[in-house]
Structure 1
């Protein structure tokens, strides 16, 4: 598990995820089935910490959104960009954004520093492109989840499951993209914020529809939306690939938990 760097500048925002073939393992017992945000850290131990690799994370994003590097029309360039994105995920996870140099990323990609600058003008731009790739994949996955259900309660479960699962599957990359948002330029930030607004809209529409039908009980849709999305994104700060839960199982449990959280009180 990549340990979270606690920063007050962390933004509450949206990003999104994908599905690699799930690992085979024994399903958790009933005690593990009741996971809350406060007890989430207890699901992992220092001895069992393992993160998904950069290759797994980028493969997951690509499985959702094949256009992850669509701006590069040449196949050779696309492959080079993919290698650099994978190397960036690995380097940021190991050293942090500020502790990583472009030379570190190029070395991890088995490329020369000069080759990196063919595709990215700076480490900052590489982080920006990585963040866009993750945010776009999560948005695509959320749209698919929303389209599968009409009933607001079922739709909310699907949305939360998607968001938490993606945060777990891409945990180290999502963590870097979330906590290093302030290093991006104002123009780059605007692009990310526009993607987040689309994610916000999906959740808000579902929440308002559920409240109108009497299926959800809350006062302020902004507060409940931020609470739900923050709960999902926080998965990236503690998730371990060696833990007892698969990302898909975690997503399903979060979906059920949130649905119960805002259901009308009997």
Structure 2
């Protein structure tokens, strides 16, 4: 995670400014369509001023993608833990909370999420595989809940894989279209997707 404390060094503060500018540029024009000069030019910096912080455009993309992947994983885990701690928690309520957290994050951080979801292939092989491992952890958060609900007889699907694939695909796509007419509140999007997830697993109400 990126340090956002007030005692951050000037170098780290500059790096954060570069990341923010790059997120906007990559989300707008794509990684391939954005030059280092275009990113630093937004900040009134020369292109060479980036290199003490990020040695290449690819390293900058990796820093952004790593931050986004870890943010959403932490957000989902926190949502799941909070739901599990509620009295009378069920597999359905826990799944709904995690999916709501996942989808609302994709909406709230749509520019960052767009870079995270759609620019992975521009990373080096080593960086790609490092983030792919985090993506597997993210998928596992949902998969464990779906499998738990099936084993408990609370969900009506035969196997978890298809439902998990559908849920994850729906959620990651939010950043592509958000905001849209009728869907401008991230929490409202989260609620819609939580309902969809419950339907996909054929959750049985108590």
Same fold by TM (over 0.5)? yes
Aligned mate of 1:211, from 143, 150, 159: 150
SS at match of 2:153: coil
Aligned: 1:193 with 2:143: no
Query: How much has 1:109 moved relative to structure 2?
Result: 2.5
8 Å Cα contact 1:69/1:82 also seen in 2: no
Aligned mate of 1:251, from 180, 184, 190: 190
Aligned: 1:79 with 2:42: no
User: TM-score, length-normalised on structure 1?
Assistant: 0.69
Superposed counterparts of 1:54-69, under 5 Å: 67-69=1-3
**What is the alpha-carbon distance in structure 1 between the residues aligned to residue 61 and residue 159 of structure 2?**
34
8 Å Cα contact 1:91/1:105 also seen in 2: yes
Instruction: Output one character per residue of 1:217-251: Cα deviation in whole Å (capped at 9) or x when no partner.
Output: 22331221111011000011111277543011110
Instruction: Output one character per residue of 1:10-55: Cα deviation in whole Å (capped at 9) or x when no partner.
Output: xxxxxxxxxxxxxxxxxxxxxxxxxxxxxxxxxxxxxxxxxxxxxx
**What is the alpha-carbon distance in structure 2 between the residues aligned to residue 204 and residue 210 of structure 1?**
10
**What is the alpha-carbon distance in structure 2 between the residues aligned to residue 252 and residue 264 of structure 1?**
15
Q: Structure 1 residues 249 and 191 mapped into 2: Cα distance closer, same or farther (>3 Å)?
A: same
Structure 2 unaligned blocks of 5 or more: 85-89
Root-mean-square deviation (CA), in Å?
A: 2.0
Q: Structure 1 residues 143 and 102 mapped into 2: Cα distance closer, same or farther (>3 Å)?
A: same
Structure 1 unaligned blocks of 5 or more: 1-66
Query: How much has 1:261 moved relative to structure 2?
Result: 2.6
Q: Which runs of 4+ in 1 moved over 6 A?
A: none
8 Å Cα contact 1:106/1:112 also seen in 2: yes
Superposed counterparts of 1:72-221, under 5 Å: 75-150=9-84, 151-221=90-160
How many equivalent residue pairs? 198
Q: Which has the higher helix share?
A: 2
Query: How much has 1:74 moved relative to structure 2?
Result: 5.3
